[in-house]
Structures are given as C-alpha cells and as structure tokens.
A and B are shown apart, each in its own frame.
Chain A
Amino acid sequence: AQSVTQLDSQVPVFEEAPVELRCNYSSSVSVYLFWYVQYPNQGLQLLLKYLSGSTLVESINGFEAEFNKSQTSFHLRKPSVHISDTAEYFCAVSDRQGGSEKLVFGKGTKLTVNP
C-alpha cells in the first residue's frame, strides 16, 4: 500500500519569500498525485494535480509542483508567498490496489506567512 511523507510539519516564512513544501511517496508504480490546501475552519480544496504528461504542474495562484519519478517526490513550490497563503497543505497519492479508488494523504504541512 502507498504511504506519503511530508517532511516538514510546520514551515514559517516571511511574505514575498520563496517556499518549498516537500512530499515523498512510497511506490513508484503509476500514480496520480495531488496537493490540497485547507484554510482555517474549512474543508480541503484541490490546489493542483499530476495525472500524466508534463511533470511540472501549476495552480492558478502561483504554486507549482514537479513530479519526480526517480525520487518518488512531488514537492510544492511558490517563488513569492503572500499572507493569504497561510494554510495547511496536504499531499496525496492515488492507491490503486484492489481496484478501489482511494487517496492516501500525508500528515500535512502548516505554512505560516509572516509580514
């Protein structure tokens, strides 16, 4: 079964600084990869996803993630963060065992953007 490791539980940064949130998954078989964002007291929203094709995927608000098959990683980056990016970010990977459609989530990374 798949597992997902988010290497940092908390990441504090200053506004306009770059940030990278790290995500590694366990299996190198064909996977779908996702980043979700959760703002305080809300549900999870899809930020971006990798299904196939270009290994670099982007979101509408300036985040990007790169699928690296050899390193089984899907790190999330943003070149310049805003206060409004403060949230918890979850990496998820598809788990295709047994024919069921499930996602396995990491434990989350809390991003705090300070002025």
Chain B
Amino acid sequence: DAGITQSPRHKVTETGTPVTLRCHQTENHRYMYWYRQDPGHGLRLIHYSYGVKDTDKGEVSDGYSVSRSKTEDFLLTLESATSSQTSVYFCATTLGSGGSYEQYFGPGTRLTVT
C-alpha cells in the first residue's frame, strides 16, 4: 500500500478562518485526490492533481483551493471556512500512466467548523 499521511488528523476551527490540510505520499504516485465524506453522500471529489502544478476541479470544488508544488505533497485550503465544510476529508493517490485506477487512501482528517 502507498504510504499516505494526512495532517492534522483532527481540527476544530471557527467560521471565517483559513484552514490548510496536508496530504503526503511516499510512493511517487502521479495522481492525488481530495475527497470529502458526509453521511448520505458517500465520497465526493473536491479537487485532484495529475502532476506537479497540474490540478483540476472535482464535483464539489466551490470554497476550496489546492496546490501541489512537489510530487509528494498535495495541500487543500479552505480560504474562509464555513459550517457546511464540516466533514471528514480523505486524500487518495494512484499511480497513473495507464494503471488500473486503483486508489490508495489516507486515514482522513476530521474537520469541525464552529
């Protein structure tokens, strides 16, 4: 399995504050993804990256931005957190380049916006 870590694992923040979540991988996978998981909605893709400095929007990207300056790190930023962004956030990676699309997941970050 890919070595994927997420930090922080838990965070409580106030409405209107900026928040950055970090995903770090050690497997040199090309693709990285940010999802949010909410009851009744399953996993929804926020943003993904297909290489350093190459990112694209997913289905629920409003209010989120991402950056990838190194292969191993993918940052998710909430510019001004809102209560609707209270969720569990998962990072995932896949090798890419004609692989099987199998994604490897990190342990998740539980974010509460008060």
Q: Which residues of A are in contact with B by a Cβ distance under 8 Å?
A: 9, 32, 34, 36, 42-46, 49, 51, 90, 92, 94, 100-103, 105-108
Contact = CB atoms under 8 A, between A and B. Distances in A.
A105 B44 CA distance: 8
Interchain residue pairs A-B with the least CB separation, the first 3:
A107-B42, A43-B105, A94-B101
Contact of A101 (B31, B41, B106, B107): B31
B42 A42 contact: no
Interface of A is mostly: strand
Interface of B: 31, 33, 40-43, 45, 48, 50, 56, 58, 90, 92, 94, 96, 99-108
Contacts of B96: 101
Given A101-B94, A107-B42, A45 B48 contact: no
Contact of A43 (B33, B94, B100, B108): B108
Contact of A107 (B41, B48, B102, B106): B41
Contacts of A42: 107-108
A102 B48 contact: yes
Given A101-B50, A102-B48, A107-B40, A44 B102 contact: no
